[in-house]
Structure 1
Amino acid sequence: MNLLSVENISKSYGERVLFSDLSFGINQDQKIALIAKNGTGKTSLLNIITGIDTPDTGQVVSRNGIHIAFLPQEPNLNPDLTIEETIFQSDSPILTVLHNYEQALKNPEDTKQYQKAFEQMELHNAWDFETQYKQILFKLKLEDLNLKVANLSGGQKKRLALAQILISKPDLLILDEPTNHLDLEMIEWLENYFAQEKITLFMVTHDRFFLERVCNEIIELDNNTLYQYKGNYSYYLEKKDARMTAEAASLDKAKNLYNKELDWMRRQPKARTTKSKSRIDDFYVIKEKAHQRRKEHKVQLEINMERLGSKIIEIHNVSKAYGNKQILKNFEYTFKKGERVGIIGKNGTGKSSFLNLITKSTAPDTGKVIVGDTIKIGYYTQSGIEVKPEQKVIDVIKEFGEFIPLTKGKVISAGQLLERFMFDRKKQYDYVEKLSGGESKRLYLCTVLIQNPNFLILDEPTNDLDIVTLNVLEDFLLDYPGCLLVVSHDRYFMDKIVDHLFVFKGEGEIEDFPGNYSDYRIYEDSVEVEEKTEPKKEKKNWKKDANSALSYNEQKEYSRIERELKKLAEEKEQMEAAFADGTILADQVNEASQQLQAILDQIEEKEMRWMELMEKMEE
C-alpha cells in the first residue's frame, strides 16, 4: 500500500539547483534510506516531504489519514515542558488513555476516575503499550520524567524527540541522522527495535551498520539522478559497483565514438542534408556523454609527515574527576609509533575529557601527560571552527596551511586537498556561510589535515558527513602514517581505521581491547552467551586476572613475558624503520636481516608460551 508519493519535485536557492524532477514512492513496511553527498539537498528533501518546506515544482501526495512523524537533526521542543509533558503532547488516542491512567494512579482516592481509566486501558489493550513505552524511556535513559527540556543537553533532547515519535506509533517515520548524539548501546538498541518492529521508515543516515541492519531499500541521489536498490547497504554497494563498471564501459565506448564523429564533423562541407543534420544532433548527445566526469576522488597519498621521535605521548598514573564523577583513575599508557586507537563507551564516561587531557587543554588531578618534542598534534573537536564573515572556503584552509608535503618532493596544495574532499574549484570560492552543515564539517577536517600533524586526534569526525565523504576520509586515514586516536560511534568507520580500542566502562575504568569494534562485539556476545549457559561462572576477562589459576612462578613468568614482548616489539619497529628509511648500509643488510629474523622468532616463541598461560588462567 502506497503511503506517500513524491512527484517531479524541484528545489533551487537562487542559481544553485539542489535537485530537479525527482519522483519516488514510499510503501507500507518499506525501510528506505536516502544516500547523497552533503550539499545536494537531503535535508531540504526531507523538509519538503514533511511539509516544512515547499518544492519549486512538483508535489508530495500522502494517503488520507496517515500519521507522519519527523525527527530532524536539531529537535524543536518546548523548553518550558517536562520530559513527561513533552511525550504526552501528542494527539495519539492510546497516549491519552495511558496519560489518564498515569494520572489516576497518582490519585488513588478517586476510585471513580481510576475505574474509568482502567476500563479505557482494557478497551484499548494499552497494557502492552505501557510496557513498551517504559522500555523506550529506559533504553533512551529518560527515567526522570520531571526534568525540564530547558535543562537537557543536546544529546538528551535528541533522545527525547526520538522517544516522543517512537511512542506515538506513526504510520510513516521520517528520520534525519537518527544515530547522531546516541551512544553505541542506544544505537544498537534502536537498530534492533526498527529491525523487529513493523514500521515504515524513510531516513537519511551516514551510519553504514545501521543501513545494513535496518534498511530493505536504498535510494541514491547522484548527479540529480535517483537510483533505487532493493536491498540493504551491502547489496547497494554490490549493485552500485556493477552500475559504475557498466557506466565506465559505456563511457569508453562513447569516447571512441566521439573521436570518430569529431573526425567526420571536421571533414564535412558546410552544406548539410537532412540525414547529416540528424547525425549532427546525435553527435552532440554523444559528446555530452563522453565528457561526463564523476567528481569522486580516491586518496592514494604518500604523506611526508614530520619525523616521530622515540617518545610519542606518555600517560603516567593519571586521574581526573569532576565532582563525584570519576573520568580516569590511575591510568597508564605509552603510545607507540603508528598506533591507531579507537575510543568507545557510553555518553558521559569521559571520552572527550580524555582527549582534552592528552592535548593538555585540561589538567589532570594527579599524574602527568608527557608529549614528545617531535609531536605535532592535530585535534578535530566536535565544536568545529569559527569563520570570519564573508570568508571564502579557500581562504579558511589557507590560514592553516598552503600544502601537505608528499614523498619525492611532491606536495598536495590546499586547493587540491579541498578537491579530494569534494570541494571543486567553483565551490572553493563560495562563501563559508553558504555551506551546509556537512560541508562545514568537511572543511573543518581539511583545516586540521592541511597542518600535516603526526598525531591526529578526531572527536566524532563522522557526524554530519555523508557516506561519500566518509569513504574519502577513510582512504586518507588508511594512508596516514602517524598516530591516530579517534572517538566515534560509527562502527563501520572504526572497523576500517583502528587496530585496538580503549573501552570506557565508567567510574574511571578503561579497558584496552586488542581488536576493532566488530572483534569487541563478538567477544562481548560470547561472554553474554557463556553467562547465560553458566550463570554461576564468573565473567572471563581477556586480561590477566589476579585470582587466576596460575601458580606464583607462572604469574611471575606471565608478567616477565609481557615485558619482554613489549621490548621485542619496540626493537622490531626500530629495525623495520631502519630498513624503511635507508639508514642501513648495503654491506649491513645481511646482518640486519638476520637480527630482524631472530627478533621475529623470539616474538613467536614467547607469544606461544603467553597464550598457553592465558588458556590456563581461563580454565
Structure 2
Amino acid sequence: MTVTPPLLTLNEAFVTFGGAPILDHISLSIFPRDRVALVGRNGSGKSTLLKALSGRIELDGGERHAKPNLKIGILDQSLAPPFDMSILDFLKQEVGKKLEPHILEEALSHLEIDPEKNLATLSGGESRRVMMAKALVGRPDILLLDEPTNHLDLKTIEWMEENLTHYPGAILIISHDRAFLKKLSKRTFWLDRGQLRILEKNFSHFEEWADGILEVEARGQEKLSLKIAQEMEWLHKGVTARRKRNMGRLRNLMELRKEKRQHQGPQGGVAFTSQDSPIGSKLVVETKHVFKSYEERPIIKDLSCRIMRGDRIGILGPNGAGKTTLLKLLTGQISPDQGHIRRAKNLEIAIFDQTQAALNLDLNAWQTLCEQGGDQIFVQGEPRHVMGYLQDFLFDRKKALTPLRNLSGGERNRLLLAKILAKPSNFLILDEPTNDLDMETLDLLEEYLSDYPGTLLLVSHDRDFLDRITTHILAFEGQGHVQMYVGGYTDYALQRTNATPLKPEKKNSQPAPEKPKVQVKLTYNEARELSLLPDEIEALYAQVQKLEEQLSDPTFFTRSPQDFERTTTLLEKHRTTLHLKEERWLELLSKEEDLERGKV
C-alpha cells in the first residue's frame, strides 16, 4: 500500500523564549488535503508553531522538512497596513506582480472587497478580508490560518467555511470558533504546556478526549505525589469541572428560552418580552419608533422594543449594518433622529469594546486590577485577593507580574474582561468579546455570564457561544430593519429557514399518498422520563461532589490505597452516568420544544 508523503514535517522541534520551552521537542506532519484544528490556551505557543511551520522563525532544535517548491499561504492576526494605496496595488506588491490581475480581482470579489478601495479607509472586518485574499491568491499547497473568523461577520464566515471545505490544498486552523472547527477539521492538534497531542478525529471529539487525558493525569499526580500540581489544580481540573457545571447552566438556559417562547408576543415587530409585561423596575430600556441614519442611509428604521431585566440578547448583522450604532443608542451615547428612548434610572453600565484603550501596556495584570495599590480587588462589590481573581481568569503568578506589552492579544483581552466583569453593573455590553480568546477562556466567560444577575447585550458572530448564552437573537435584516427571534443562534437559523415561503406544488392527477401520522407531543414514557431526570441528575451530581471531596483529602491514598482505588472507580462510573443523563435530558427537552413548534 502506497503511503502519501507529507507536505511538511517538524521532527523534535524545540523553541524557547526566555529560557522556557514554548515548543518542547514536538513532531508532526501535514499531508495533502489535510484539515487540522490546532487548539490550546492563549500563550501556549500556537502562533509560534505556525511560524515554525512556515519557516518564519528558526528552530532552537529539531528539524523542519518541506516538499520542494512548497507554497504556503499565511493568515496571521495582523490587519492590513493603513498605507495610502489601493487594495489591488497592495496585493500586487505583497504577492508578486507575476500574478495576473484577474486572479487577484477574483479573490477580492469572492470576499466582497472593492479592489480600488484605499487601505487607509478600511474597517477591521474589511482589513481582515484583504489579508484573507492575500493568503488565498495563488492557491498555496498549505493554508495556515490564525483566528480567521476574527472581525468577520457571519455571512463572510459562512462563505469562508464553504470555500475552505472545497479547497484543494491542506489547511491548518487556529480558532476559538467551535462551530467553524467542527465544520472543517478532520484531525485535531492540542498544544498543551509545550507538548503536542494529536487526535485523529474531528474537533467535535476534542473536549471529551482532552477531559479524559486530564483526569488520568490528575489521578497519576494524586497517586505519585499525593497532591495535584498547582497548574493542574487551578487550571485543568477547574476547566473540566467548569464544563460539567455549564451543563447545568445550559439546562437553565433552555428552560428560560422555553418560558420566553411561551410568553412571546406577535413577531411582527421587535419585542424582547411579552407585550403585556408591566413597565416598572423590571424595565431596562424601551424604544418607541426610533430612527437613525447616517448620510441619508437608514441604519435603524422604526425600532420599538422593550429590554427587560435578565434578558440576554445576542446581536447579529453584517459588518457596517449598525450593531455598534444600536448599542450607542440603547446606552445613551448618541441620540436618535426620531423616536423616543426611555431608560431605567438606576442603570450601571459596563462596556467591553475590545479596543483595549483601558489598558496601560507598561503595567502588569496585578497593577491593572489594583489601580490604587495593594492586593485586594472588589468584584461586584465583594473584596477578593487579586491573585485569586486572576487565577479565575487563567493567569498564574508569573503572567500576573508580566508587563502587558509582553502578553498575547488574547491574554490582554482576557484581562480586560476580568477588569470589566469586576465592576458593579446591572447592564453589561459586550462588543465582540470572543475574538482572540481560547476555548477555556470562553468556558470561563460563559460561566460568568450565566451567573450574571443583570441584563446582557452581546455582539458576536460565534454561533456556538450565542447558543450557550442568549435568550434572544436581535438580527439586522437589511435596510435598517431589525427583527427579534427567541432562543440562540440555532433557533434563529431554524426560524429564518421556516419563515421562507414554500413554492406551491403542481397539481397531480394521482391520488395523494396517505400522510403518515405526525407526532405532536412526547410519548407517555418520554414525558415521564423527562419529569424524573432532573431529580436523578441532581442526586448524581451530589454523589459526584461527595466523592470528589473524599479524593481531595491528601491523606486518603496513604491511609487506604484500596479504598482510594474503589472511590476513584465509583467516581468515574457516576460521572459517566451523569453525563449520559444530562445528554438525555437535553435531547428530550429539545424534542419537546421542537414538537411544540411543529418541527417534528
TM-score, length of structure 1 as denominator length? 0.69
Superposition deviation, residue 380 in structure 1? 0.5
Give the whole-Å Cα distance in 2 for the aligned partners of 1:463 and 1:181: 8
Superposition deviation, residue 62 in structure 1? 1.0
Aligned to 2:22: 18
Superposition deviation, residue 448 in structure 1? 0.5
1:329 is aligned to 2:269: no
> Which residue type is aligned with residue 202 of structure 1?
L
Aligned to 2:533: none
Aligned to 1:230: 200
Give the whole-Å Cα distance in 2 for the aligned partners of 1:493 and 1:209: 9
Superposition deviation, residue 226 in structure 1? 1.2
Aligned to 2:324: 352
Give the whole-Å Cα distance in 2 for the aligned partners of 1:86 and 1:426: 41
Conserved in 2, the CA contact under 8 Å of 1:338 and 1:483? yes
Superposition deviation, residue 432 in structure 1? 1.8
The 1:68/1:486 distance shift into structure 2, 3 A limit, reads same
Conserved in 2, the CA contact under 8 Å of 1:7 and 1:58? yes
1:402 alignment partner, SS class:
strand
Aligned to 1:521: 493
Give the whole-Å Cα distance in 2 for the aligned partners of 1:523 and 1:503: 12
Residue in structure 1 matching 2:342, options 364, 370, 379: 370
1:421 is aligned to 2:393: yes
1:483 is aligned to 2:483: no
The 1:501/1:329 distance shift into structure 2, 3 A limit, reads same
1:138 is aligned to 2:109: yes
> Which residue type is aligned with residue 496 of structure 1?
R
Query: Where in structure 2 are the equivalents of 1:39-78 lying within 5 Å?
Result: 39-76=43-80
The 1:366/1:398 distance shift into structure 2, 3 A limit, reads farther
1:239 is aligned to 2:214: no
Superposition deviation, residue 325 in structure 1? 2.1
Superposition deviation, residue 14 in structure 1? 2.2
Conserved in 2, the CA contact under 8 Å of 1:438 and 1:466? yes
Aligned to 2:368: 396
Query: Where in structure 2 are the equivalents of 1:46-445 lying within 5 Å?
Result: 46-76=50-80, 79-88=83-92, 96=99, 98-99=100-101, 136-142=107-113, 144-255=114-225, 293=233, 295-296=235-236, 297-298=238-239, 309-388=281-360, 390-399=362-371, 402-404=377-379, 412-445=384-417
Give the whole-Å Cα distance in 2 for the aligned partners of 1:205 and 1:335: 32
Conserved in 1, the CA contact under 8 Å of 2:15 and 2:21? yes
Superposition deviation, residue 169 in structure 1? 0.6
Conserved in 2, the CA contact under 8 Å of 1:329 and 1:509? yes
Conserved in 2, the CA contact under 8 Å of 1:375 and 1:454? yes
> Which residue type is aligned with residue 369 of structure 1?
I
Give the whole-Å Cα distance in 1 for the aligned partners of 2:498 and 2:164: 24
Conserved in 2, the CA contact under 8 Å of 1:341 and 1:499? yes
The 1:504/1:89 distance shift into structure 2, 3 A limit, reads same
Q: How many residues align?
A: 466
Q: Which sections of structure 2, spanning at least 5 residues, go unmatched?
A: 247-279, 507-594
Q: Which sections of structure 1, spanning at least 5 residues, go unmatched?
A: 103-129, 259-286, 302-307, 537-610
Superposition deviation, residue 168 in structure 1? 1.4
> Which residue type is aligned with residue 235 of structure 2?
K
Aligned to 2:259: none
Superposition deviation, residue 534 in structure 1? 4.4
Give the whole-Å Cα distance in 1 for the aligned partners of 2:474 and 2:314: 6
Identity score, percent: 32
The 1:244/1:17 distance shift into structure 2, 3 A limit, reads closer
> Which residue type is aligned with residue 221 of structure 1?
L
Conserved in 1, the CA contact under 8 Å of 2:222 and 2:228? no
Give the whole-Å Cα distance in 2 for the aligned partners of 1:478 and 1:91: 46
Conserved in 2, the CA contact under 8 Å of 1:10 and 1:19? yes
Conserved in 1, the CA contact under 8 Å of 2:377 and 2:383? no
Give the whole-Å Cα distance in 2 for the aligned partners of 1:361 and 1:76: 30
Give the whole-Å Cα distance in 2 for the aligned partners of 1:535 and 1:353: 43
Give the whole-Å Cα distance in 2 for the aligned partners of 1:214 and 1:524: 24
Give the whole-Å Cα distance in 1 for the aligned partners of 2:230 and 2:320: 53
Residue in structure 1 matching 2:440, options 441, 464, 468: 468
Deviations 1:342-384 (A, max 9, x none): 0001110000111112222222222333321222111101312
Conserved in 2, the CA contact under 8 Å of 1:77 and 1:161? no
Conserved in 2, the CA contact under 8 Å of 1:254 and 1:290? no
Give the whole-Å Cα distance in 2 for the aligned partners of 1:230 and 1:291: 27
1:246 alignment partner, SS class:
helix
Superposition deviation, residue 41 in structure 1? 1.9
Give the whole-Å Cα distance in 2 for the aligned partners of 1:378 and 1:291: 31
2:36 alignment partner, SS class:
strand
> Which residue type is aligned with residue 206 of structure 2?
Y
The 1:294/1:3 distance shift into structure 2, 3 A limit, reads farther
Aligned to 2:426: 454
The 1:207/1:360 distance shift into structure 2, 3 A limit, reads same
2:8 alignment partner, SS class:
strand
Larger deviation, residues 172-181 vs 246-255 = 246-255
For the aligned residue pairs, the C-alpha RMSD in angstroms reads 3.1
Deviations 1:437-495 (A, max 9, x none): 11110110011011131111100000011111111111221122211110001111100
Larger deviation, residues 161-170 vs 455-464 = 161-170
Deviations 1:193-214 (A, max 9, x none): 1122332001211111110000
The 1:375/1:6 distance shift into structure 2, 3 A limit, reads same
Larger deviation, residues 353-362 vs 484-493 = 353-362
Give the whole-Å Cα distance in 1 for the aligned partners of 2:14 and 2:334: 49
Conserved in 2, the CA contact under 8 Å of 1:78 and 1:86? no
Conserved in 1, the CA contact under 8 Å of 2:95 and 2:134? no
Conserved in 2, the CA contact under 8 Å of 1:319 and 1:367? yes
Superposition deviation, residue 324 in structure 1? 2.0
Give the whole-Å Cα distance in 1 for the aligned partners of 2:330 and 2:209: 43
Give the whole-Å Cα distance in 2 for the aligned partners of 1:149 and 1:527: 39
1:464 alignment partner, SS class:
coil
Superposition deviation, residue 75 in structure 1? 4.1
Give the whole-Å Cα distance in 2 for the aligned partners of 1:417 and 1:370: 36
The 1:233/1:534 distance shift into structure 2, 3 A limit, reads farther
> Which residue type is aligned with residue 295 of structure 2?
G
Conserved in 2, the CA contact under 8 Å of 1:83 and 1:149? yes
The 1:340/1:91 distance shift into structure 2, 3 A limit, reads closer
Larger deviation, residues 431-440 vs 394-403 = 394-403
Superposition deviation, residue 11 in structure 1? 2.6
